[in-house]
A = this chain, B = another copy of it.
Amino acid sequence: MTQLERARNNEITLEMEKAASKDGIDPEDLRRSIANGNTVIPANKLHRHLEPIAIGKVASTKINANFGTSPYDADVEKELRKQEASIRHGADTVMDLSTGGDLDSIRSTLIAACTVPFGTVPIYQAMADAESIDDVDGDAMIQAVRRHAEQGVDFVTVHAGVTQDVIPLLKGRLGGVVSRGGSFLVSWMMKNEANNPLYERFDEVIDIAYEYDVTLSLGDGLRPGCLSDASDKAQYHELKVLGDLTKKAWARDVQVMIEGPGHVPLHLIKENIEMQKEHCHGAPFYVLGPLVTDIGAGYDHITSAIGGALAASYGADFLCYVTPSEHLKLPNIEEVIDGVIASKIAAHAADIAKGFPGAMEWDDRISRARRNLDWDEQIRLTVNPNRAKMLREQSEIDTDECTMCGQYCALKAFTED
């Protein structure tokens, strides 16, 4: 039985207890939200050492870190270090997007070391396994989902919403199709003059997901790749298809999240969240960024933190981080950490705005330490104590002042007591 099925049967599972405790929320509230499809606990029955967390309406905003090998760099040790650093710096989930090297072996190595929900995009496997991309068939796509499920993957991106009828709507896009899965499937459908197998055979995907309790993360293969394409017909057409698929999965007790953009200007973020909640019946929303401008390559952890904070404050549940390397190269470990921290800041700022219980306490504690010039406590409480400590130590002073103001410290000049 899946978490969704058990929630519907009024059972509070061990996973629900643990996830609720982690967020400081009521387990019964969590159960009810899972039963309604508004919250998920991605927890493959075969993923050992998993510490379950909840993603959705009643939970705190969660963040995901992507990594994985590429055809240019297929060293699993590097990716293991990125995974470890991501989790240590606050990633709530990770996704292995490997496309280079022995994917099965890389995946099993990473999962074995992973204590947080582990996500993948099985279609990359189908693409990598084929002699040529043109050789990929529907069986291979479904088979990849099964193989990942068997290995203990907790959530899989499935681009089942990319359908043949959307192709004419892509005409005139400035940015084209920027999802690797989406782009492959559009191209596949055009060459094969057939509809997307992941859509046509979605029941088989559901069967696999049910068997292992894999959460389906319905991919936004047609997400905008630049501001100009944001909220276009193709994007919203896919979103509606994903809404239909959500109902199909729910009818079979399979947990669902919906993936979203991407590149969205500030003033369209609210509309994007509202459209998703409406078309996808309140399923959790997992956004990539969104980036609020296209000019930020080298700094897209910042452009996406701006969009992510706003998106989550409007109701997005789950933020996929973006690293400073986005649009330029595969990130290294420092860039992975920068991405995690930026995303963590965005998620936390949104939790404060949403009034998530306990969120403001963290800020109050650090502000009290700052007011009291208690540097150790202040540094301990920052989002990345190592970095704060390093910056403070650069000053080479041993007073309670800092090198910004010295004796003109505002906190020293005026004291109430």
Contacts and interface: CB of A to CB of B under 8 A. Distances in A.
A312 to B, nearest CB: 9
Interface string A213-229: 00000000000011110
Nearest to A368: B174
Contacts of A20: none
A292 interface: yes
Contacts of A305: 302, 305-306
A391 B269 CA distance: 29
Interface string A291-327: 0111111110111011001100100000000001111
Contact of A227 (B70, B367, B405): B367
Contact of A71 (B368, B392, B407): B407
A415 B348 contact: no
Interface in A111-134: 124, 127-128, 133
A173 to B, nearest CB: 8
Interface size for chain A: under 10, 10 to 19, 20 to 34, or 35 or more residues? 35 or more
Interface string A383-397: 110011001101101
Given A266-B310, A367-B174, A292 B352 contact: yes
Interface stretch (A40-48, A250-258, A338-346): A338-346
Contact of A345 (B226, B306, B332, B378): B306
A177 B370 CA distance: 12
A21 interface: no
Nearest to A342: B302
A158 interface: no
Contacts of A328: 388, 391-392, 395, 402, 404
Nearest to A383: B295
Contacts of A182: 410, 414
A345 B296 contact: yes
Contacts of A267: 313, 352-354
Interface in A171-215: 171, 173-180, 182-184, 186-187
A85 interface: no
B415 A176 contact: yes
A86 interface: no
A70 to B, nearest CB: 5
A316 B353 CA distance: 20
Chain A to chain B: the 6 pairs with minimum beta-carbon distance, closest first = A226-B367, A71-B406, A183-B410, A266-B353, A292-B349, A294-B363
Given A183-B410, A225-B367, 13 more contacts: A72-B397, A174-B371, A177-B410, A180-B410, A180-B413, A184-B410, A226-B367, A228-B363, A266-B310, A292-B353, A295-B381, A296-B383, A299-B345
Interface of A: 70-73, 99-100, 124, 127-128, 133, 170-171, 173-180, 182-184, 186-187, 225-228, 265-267, 292-299, 301-303, 305-306, 309-310, 313, 324-330, 332, 341-342, 345-346, 348-350, 352-354, 360, 362-364, 366-368, 370-371, 378-379, 381-384, 387-388, 391-392, 394-395, 397, 402-411, 413-416
9 contacts: A173-B416, A177-B413, A293-B345, A294-B364, A299-B383, A306-B345, A324-B391, A325-B404, A330-B404
